Amino acid sequence: FEVHQPTRIKKFRAFDIGNDHHYFNDNSDSDLNNKRILERVARKSYLPANRLLLDLLRRHPDFKISFSFSGIFLKQLEDDFPEVLESFQKLVETGRVEVLSETFYHSLSFLYSLEEFKHQVAMHRKTIKRLFGVKPLVFRNTELIYNNELAVTVEGMGYKGILAEGADRILGWRNPNFIYHPAGTAKIKLLLKNYKLSDDIAFRFSERTWKEHPLTAPKFANWLSNHNGNGQIINLFMDYETFGEHQWEDSGIFQFLDSLPEEILKHPDNDFVTPSEAISRFDSFGELDFPSFVSWADEERDLSAWRSNSLQEDALSKIYSLESEVLNTKDLQLMEDWRCLQTSDHFYYM
């Protein structure tokens, strides 16, 4: 599960430039109020979903999951919602929840500054160790943005696995339900999202016009079991907000999640593994070449969600052009603001 909330930028007028140096402190009733939005999502999604997952982990000893938390999400929890952070910590304490590594600010830094990328990953790794007591071994880049070069870089940083979108244009005839090794690497392994099955839950669950509606746990478990004998693993990657925020409680999404582990485990060939366990258990099925970038965003599954118009391009170029100038100031608040402005969400909505 990806768990992320950006620090949204408040409405900033031209005459505020040079006068107002607080960019993220909207206190209105709008959807730019970070604390207000996080409180709502915590109430609708994080807290009930965490209670349910903790219960499922207790009821099913073979049930396992993983989380990829953005650093700015965790910082907001530390500052304003410690009870939500504690509920995530309780899940990790079970020993059957893996925490993945990513950029602290959920940024596009790998596309623009390798040094900034490495700095943010190091920040994130330290935060995960401090809050959860674990060292991430598997990397997931912002929005599953991935190519060969990223895999080479991440392997050099000590990771043993990396996640990517199972994009059809890259896979061709290949099956996303196998583990591969990225082109140009030595040992790191590649886990691919099965986007069709993932999106059945994340996007189509409450779509009444969908021919498979309603989606029940027995039906979905049967779909998974049908792949036995034609793959090593099925990777289901989705936003954690799927549960309660994107798919509302009255859609039946929590009842679906409550029943799913039991239904999956009814089949003797099925079990759950964390990303690290999958990497250790299975050999690579072969090399997979990702010469161009892919992501999990929109139907295009490329970088166009953030870089398809001139406003996005100009804003991204400008923010990263300030790198040396900002860092040379040694001003901690200025550096924090600059990094919060790198969050991918800002450019996605341009």
pLDDT in tens, 67-78: 999 999 999 999
> Is the confidence at residue 16, as pLDDT, over 80?
no
Cα→Cα distances 306→16, 102, 142, 224, 338, Å: 26, 18, 12, 33, 18
Domain carrying residue 276: 2-348
Which of 21-25, 123-127, 158-162, 256-260 has the weakest average pLDDT? 21-25
Give the pLDDT of residue 21. 73
pLDDT tier at 340 (50, 70, 90 boundaries)?
very high
pLDDT tier at 10 (50, 70, 90 boundaries)?
confident
Give the pLDDT of residue 300. 87
Percent of all residues in the chain with a pLDDT value above 70, rounded to a whole number: 99
Domain with residue 87: its CATH number is 3.20.110.20
DSSP string, 270-329: -----HHHHHHHS----EE---S-B-SSTTTTSSHHHHSSHHHHHHHHHHHHTHHHHHHH
Average pLDDT over residues 92-104: 99
Q: What does the angle CA 242 – CA 245 – CA 250 come to, to the nearest 5 degrees?
A: 95
> Is the confidence at residue 214, as pLDDT, over 80?
yes
Distance CA 49, CA 62 (A): 19
> Is the confidence at residue 14, as pLDDT, over 70?
no
pLDDT in tens, 283-322: 999 999 999 999 998 888 999 999 999 999 999 999 999 9
Active site residue 313: no
Percent of all residues in the chain with a pLDDT value above 90, rounded to a whole number: 92
Which candidate in 102, 143, 245, 263 is catalytic? Answer: 143
Number of domain units in the chain: 1
pTM as predicted: 0.95
The chain-wide mean pLDDT, for the chain, equals 96
Q: Tell me whether strands 97-99 and 2-3 are parallel, antiparallel or unpaired.
A: unpaired
